Amino acid sequence: MPHEHLTHPSAADLAARIPRGFLIGTATASAQIEGAIREGRRTPSVWDRFAEQPGRILDGSTTAVTADHFHRHAEDVALMSRLGADAYRFSLGWTRLQPTGSGPLDPEGVAFYDRLLDELHAAGVSPFATISHWDLPEEYAHGWLDRDTAARLGDFAALVGERFGDRVDAWITINEPATVTLNGYALGLHAPGHSLLFDALPTVHHQLLGHGLAVQALRAAAVRGAIGISNAHTPVMPASATEEDAVMAMLFDIVHNRVFADPVLIGRYPEVPAELADLFGSLADVPADDLAIIAEPIDFYGLNYYMPSVIAAGAGTGDSPDGMSDAMAELPFRLEPLEGHETTGFGWPIAPEHFETVLGQLRERYGDALPPVFITESGASFDDEVADDGTVADPRRTDYVARHLDAALRAVAPGGQAFGVDLRGFFVWSLLDNWEWAAGFTQRFGLVHVDFADGTRTPKESFGFLAEVNRIRAEA
């Protein structure tokens, strides 16, 4: 679909509608930007090992350097200051801080994050730290299939909470457990590369149990920051009015959204229609004590929104939003395109109107059990290039950010689909072009262009737009 008609709210309009105290920030993940895997005692993670396998990463790249944030973090914090960002969401590299996957924190890893936190505070940028953002230590051979990994996350949370708890303003225990389960264990697209389909469901429970144990550990460490979790939610629509499509859309909603949110927010797994019950056997009779841990009270819920999903009954070609998967073709449903919408570089439909849908679903499903919400990720990949004059024009990302921020603000305003949801902030994914997991360097999400050959940073047009939003609201 052509994109000649990019119309979005102006910077002044958005700035005027952002509530006082609402945070505008950016987000990254350690495995995607830090590099420096041979410095200090940083050991390989499951993603490093996955990247070594031929054909796993689209362009054959690795995490060795990525955006070289390890060496250029001061420059990157200066960019956040120039952007006027209120907050920065980053992740703590598990294998940099705990190289063997157990034992005390490594002094060199601690020193790196000490420097980063000090720089953020000096720049007036609020640190949001994610404890587990996909890069498990390789020592955890069975990953999230092993219940013991949940206990390891709790132990790691205790260590980082004690060490950094006085300087982190918000903690996210685990990022997008839905994506980890679906892409890493069910479809074989992400590390560790298993294609277990519904036999991957034990990883749901173990990740959520790890979240609960991490919450307990952070509380015990008396951290001063708020505590929450981030998950990717997608509003799901049947491809047609047939009963078959409706049932499969319900199934996808359960496995992508409900099994991850319900236990955290209301202390139980969702009820499953009888015709689908056999698929969810591993979640049917979990210990009540586990559910109590998973439902430990949290201070906020992190919502990552990228796209809606259109679901039809029947097997497909194996195409998924994140690449081709033979396992995907074995499922009883398939993803269909969202007609009439442009797509990102990944082929994801651009549908900011469904931001309102998903926020409304959170309000409807969880009511008073829903704590304050942060949009912890929203962004898009496009093919951005540096022009001869040294600028990077990315009008489609500017349009994406403006319309999605607008949609989120409209959703929670009086008369909006999610009126009553306490929305506290919006984090753009991502600050920097990065190593985009199995897509390698082929997808650019950054507000800042990164030359992956020499690390040069070039703020894009979208960076300038968001900086203008922040400047206007700061002067109001």
Active site residues: 176, 377
- CA atoms of 379 and 306, how far apart (whole Å): 7
Element counts in the chain: helices (H) and strands (E): 15, 15
Burial degree of 227 (CB within 10 A; 0-12, 13-18, 19+): buried
Residue 307 sits at the vertex; the CA angle it makes with 304 and 311, to the nearest 5 degrees, is 125
- Nearest CA-CA partner of 378 in 438, 325, 430: 430
Q: How many angstroms from the chain centroid is the CA of residue 351? A: 18
* Strand 373-378, strand 170-175: pairing: unpaired
- CA atoms of 152 and 173, how far apart (whole Å): 12
Q: Would you state the torsion angle of the CA atoms of residues 204, 207, 208, 211, taken in this order, to the nearest 10 degrees?
A: -170
- Nearest CA-CA partner of 75 in 116, 104, 16: 116
Q: Is the dihedral of CA 70, 74, 80, 85 positive or negative?
A: positive
- Rg over alpha carbons for the chain, rounded to the nearest Å, is 21
HSE value, Cβ hemisphere, 13 Å, CA-based, for 339: 4
* Single-letter residue type at 463: F
* Spatial strand order in the sheet of 236-238: 236-238, 309-313, 333-336
Burial degree of 9 (CB within 10 A; 0-12, 13-18, 19+): middle
